[in-house]
Amino acid sequence: MEYIDCKTENRLLTVFLKGHIDSANAPAVEAEITRARSESACGALVLDARDLTYISSAGLRIILRLRKEFPALKIVNVSSEIYEILDMTGFTELVEVQKAYRVVSVAGCELIGQGANGRVYRIDPDTVVKVYLNRDALPEIHRERELARTAFVLGIPTAIPYDVVRVGDGYGSVFELLNATSFAKLLIRGEKSVDEVARMSVDLLRQIHGTEVSPDSMPDMRAVALDWADFLADYLPPEQYEKLHSLVASVPEVPHQKRDAPERREPAHRHGHPQPRPSRV
């Protein structure tokens, strides 16, 4: 099609708008969208504006007509310029509009850390980006941002992400870390001894675990850790699982945060039954 591209997946039709949409080509654009809808038999519609450079009132009227047929219509990957048009005309109040994410490349960047759910790269002397291994990490990113803000308000030294970006096919969180370095680098460069780094770690952990937190502001990590231990029940020898579970369960609870004790899981391998491999890694 000349004015749009489209794809259909699970009855969701995504229409990719391109270039300028104005009074001269709006009828042709709408005709192509109508044709795509009839060919796909879609149940929901998303407009992708990543390649849209301008839209006039004629184009906005197309969106209004589409919204009447698809009340849950969304417009995604909207540039700042297009968002300003939609915002000034009140469309951000009528339709869910999602701004486009800035694209960041980590090619050639220094890898300064790696964990279970992502890798951290230094983009420049003042900025790092955490790239998440999960390609659908947006809920996790927003959850971590809120937890970081809560920790910062409580006085715990922590970096707060200020931007969400696209990195390849996935997402990343951008942090400002002015001249920051890792404990490993301090040791490698001989700037700190092992004892000094150990003391810094202990002081930080003491501050974290000595901070009083209301039950509704942070997740119960003891319960989360018990869940992690139970997840490993099918992969550890029984005696190792028992030891791990006992170690976590022995961590004392803060009195006002006590909940009913979670039931310990009885792994399937103890009964000789095969257990399907879980989807979590």
CATH of the domain at 166: 3.30.200.20
CB 140 within 8 A of CB 172: no
Q: What is the pLDDT of residues 163-213, one digit of tens each?
A: 899 999 899 999 987 677 788 888 999 999 999 999 999 998 898 888 888
Pairing mode, strands 127-132 and 170-176: antiparallel
Residue of higher predicted confidence among 1 and 110: 110
Residue 133 lies in a domain: yes
What is the pLDDT at residue 251?
84
- Whether 182 maps to a domain, the answer reads no
Residue 139: strand, helix, or coil: helix
- As a whole number, the mean pLDDT across the chain is 85
Distance from the Cα of residue 160 to its chain's centroid: 14
Domain boundary among 72, 100, 128: 100
Q: Which is nearest to 54 in space by CA: 14, 22, 76, 6?
A: 22
d(CA 86, CA 29): 18
Q: The CATH number of the domain where 60 resides is what?
A: 3.30.750.24
Tell me, yes or no, whether 132 and 92 share the same domain: no
**68 and 151 assigned to the same domain:** no
150 near 219, Cβ under 8 Å?
no
Same-domain pairing of 89 and 141: no
pLDDT tens sequence across 45-102: 999 999 999 999 999 999 999 999 999 999 999 998 999 999 999 999 999 998 888 8
Flag whether 194 is in a domain: no
Q: Is the pLDDT of residue 267 over 60?
A: no
Q: How many CB atoms lie within 10 A of CB 238?
A: 11
pLDDT at 270: 46
Residue 185 domain-assigned (yes or no)? no
Q: Rounded to whole angstroms, how far apart are CA atoms 229 and 232?
A: 5
Q: What is the mean pLDDT of residues 98-116?
A: 89
* 156 lies in the same domain as 238: no
Give residue 228's domain range: 219-281
> 233 and 151 share a domain?
no
Residue 78 maps to a domain:
yes
Percentage of the chain modeled with pLDDT above 70: 90
Q: Band of the pLDDT at 280, cuts 50, 70, 90?
A: very low
| Tokens linked to 152 | 């910062």
CA triple 24-25-30, angle to 5 deg: 135
Q: Are residues 77 and 155 in the same domain?
A: no
Mean pLDDT of 16-25: 94
Report whether 84 contacts 97 (CB < 8 A).
no
| Predicted pLDDT of residue 264 | 56
Residue-level pLDDT at 276: 40
Which residue in the block uniquely carries the two structure tokens 């879609």?
42
pTM: 0.61
Tally of structural domains, the chain = 3
Check whether residue 67 and residue 136 sit in a common domain: no
Q: What is the CA radius of gyration of the chain?
A: 25
